[in-house]
Amino acid sequence: MTNMHNKEILPNLDISPIVQKALKAGKPIVALESTIICHGMPYPQNIQTAEAVENIVVENGAIPATIAIIQGCLKVGLSSDEMNYLAKNGQNIPKISRRDLPFSLSQKSDGATTVAATMIIAAMANIKVFATGGIGGVHRDINDSLDISADLQELANTNVAVVCSGVKSILDIPRTLEYLETHGVPIIGYQTDKMPAFYTSESGSLVDYNCQSTDEIAKVMKIKWEMHFQGGIVVANPIPKKYSLPLNEIN
């Protein structure tokens, strides 16, 4: 169900009734991506994980808004049937990033949204916080491949705070942080000075700022966007130490 305001501006944007109600009431909403459902793990672990993540959001007082594309509609908040549909079709559903969005919509196809695409759709729905695993970045063979994730350019341009467990450990993390610094994207460590790297709580690199509370982070978000500074914020929340793999083992 799409409200009239969104229907007039974006006929393909389909915000679930629960998320619409939360938006109107000013309740906290957390956007979630769908690539992890389709490409992150096999069925049924993928649906179990997706449901568990949504439940964690609810238990902490917010409304989950899992984002995906179904038959050419930008879905913000999935029903149980829609979630199961994505989980069961898994790898058959293509990953969708910024460049792919117009094609997915014009062909009325399905799509699992990456970090970049999820940020775009969250911003369209006026959702300011998006939680994910690891973000993309500069690849280690950058001198040969020129491979830089679209996630970084989206962070430079789209006003969404991305809460993550750092940059994926297979990437060149120092160069990724340098790229984000050049584009004015602040890197906040949640109760840490050290940049995490997905499965490990430390990467050997440092964050820009250590914020000890979520209130402090929220204040930074508010001021940044009130000043009309375009672009997102990375909130690096490291994996708990008891689950963290050693950095040497990762490398």
Just list the catalytic residues. Answer: 33, 168
Query: Would you give the DSSP letter of residue 162?
Result: E
> Does residue 83 contact residue 32 with C-beta atoms inside 8 Å?
no
> Does residue 187 contact residue 195 with C-beta atoms inside 8 Å?
yes
Is the four-CA dihedral 245, 197, 76, 56 of positive or negative sign? Answer: positive
> Does residue 37 contact residue 46 with C-beta atoms inside 8 Å?
yes
> Does residue 198 contact residue 165 with C-beta atoms inside 8 Å?
yes
> Does residue 39 contact residue 91 with C-beta atoms inside 8 Å?
yes
Query: Would you give the DSSP letter of residue 235?
Result: E
**Residue 145: partners with Cβ closer than 8 Å, 6 or more residues away:** 139
